[in-house]
Amino acid sequence: MSLVIKHIDCRIVDHAVRQDGAIVSSLGRHSASRYCIVTIESRDGLFGYGEATTAPIWSGESAETATWMIDRFIGPLLTGSTFDHPAEALALVDRQLYGNPFAKAAVDVALWDLWARRQEKAVADLIADRRPVEAIPTRVSIGCYPAEETVRLAQEFWAAGVRTLKFKTGVPGIDDVARLRAVREELGDEPIFTIDANGAYASADEAVRAVEALEPFALSLVEQPTPRDRLNMLAEVRRRTRTPIMADEAVFSPAELNEALELDAFDVLSIYPGKNGGFTHSLSMAAAAQAAGKACAIGSNLETDLGQAPHACLAASLSAFPVETYACDLMGSLFYSESAVTPPIVLDKGRVIPPRGIGFGVVPRV
């Protein structure tokens, strides 16, 4: 079904994000969510929506640079063009513009939304290889705070029904062993513990020491222990430790995934459209990881519900995501008091209910 793009619009929105318990990682503190909302109108008067969930420390992009790249390059490239599939438009963009994955993804997500709406279908109906999961277990990030604050946050999230806790680790001056021990003592054996160092450990030796010190508290996953551009180091840590390794910052693009697979550098791949430079790329990367025997889980840059809708769609629809084994970072409603969309995405007993409805099932509220 062909689609003629009439107009691409960007606007910047500041979303009020929780300050108490804000995510603190080795990269810094997430205390502001200034994102770009992309709206694409087709010639037949339909609309599709996407969010550039930008954080300069993460991809080198801001809401302003995403807006500029879309207004200056992507918009003029696509406006007036006819496409039979969103992948055709993204291929054109990728040939003309290097980098800027979150800007590209916001456009690609909006095109998928629009393309599905044009067919009066949910995107899940177009991509699913299984009966979509009805409720996806959420993993929530607990910032790298001292033990007492860590316990308080863990208790709050546990009481909200979240069963998988992701402890940010590797911030100098914070005793991660004391934090994880304190939470185990308080909440017992039931919570699933994962850690995410966001590349904090500078060498394989340092990473192995840090992981081995925390393994007595029963880790189910170690996320990105080593710096993002050191795939060999990540592979070495995986060989030397027993807990499954998740690649996050190390693998943004399909090309990086190929190299990580060649090195057998990870067990679980963190996937989401912003990081991957498009929903289209997330689909192909999930398929490639699955073909290589690797599991996938949704990662996050603290999307609003607008950004989370395509994440929930991927996790629910594709068998590459074993969501009961590896929970997904669908934690937006624990950090934003107001939803950015209608209808809001529901988090019930620690599980996200994927939106139903055509497209990705949501429309920006503002």
Residues that bind Mg ion (CB under 5 A): 196, 223, 248
Closest distance of CB 56 from Mg ion, Å: 16
Tell me whether residue 28 or residue 344 sits nearer to Mg ion (CB atom): 28
Helices (H) and strands (E) in the chain, counts: 14, 18
Tell me whether residue 61 or residue 196 sits nearer to Mg ion (CB atom): 196
Gap between the Cα atoms of 194 and 165, Å rounded: 6
- Asked if 227 contacts 200 with a C-beta cutoff of 8 angstroms, the reply is no
Closest distance of CB 166 from Mg ion, Å: 8
Closest distance of CB 11 from Mg ion, Å: 28
Q: Name the closest residue to Mg ion (Cβ).
A: 248
Tell me whether residue 176 or residue 248 sits nearer to Mg ion (CB atom): 248
106 CB-near residues (< 8 Å, 6+ apart): 36, 37, 38, 50, 51, 52, 66, 70, 274
- Asked if 269 contacts 298 with a C-beta cutoff of 8 angstroms, the reply is no
Tell me whether residue 108 or residue 248 sits nearer to Mg ion (CB atom): 248
Closest distance of CB 274 from Mg ion, Å: 13
| Distance, CA of 199 to chain centre | 16
DSSP helix/strand/coil, 200:
coil
Closest distance of CB 46 from Mg ion, Å: 35
161 CB-near residues (< 8 Å, 6+ apart): 348, 349, 350, 351
- The terminus-to-terminus CA distance of the chain in angstroms comes to 30
Looking only at the bridges linking them, the beta strands covering 164-168 and 139-142 are: parallel
Q: At 35, list the tokens.
A: 């994102």
Indicate the residue type of 256.
Answer: E
Classify residue 72 by its DSSP letter.
I
Closest distance of CB 299 from Mg ion, Å: 6
Tell me whether residue 251 or residue 352 sits nearer to Mg ion (CB atom): 251
Gap between the Cα atoms of 41 and 44, Å rounded: 8
Closest distance of CB 157 from Mg ion, Å: 17
Tell me whether residue 113 or residue 329 sits nearer to Mg ion (CB atom): 329
Classify residue 199 by its DSSP letter.
T
Tell me whether residue 229 or residue 338 sits nearer to Mg ion (CB atom): 229
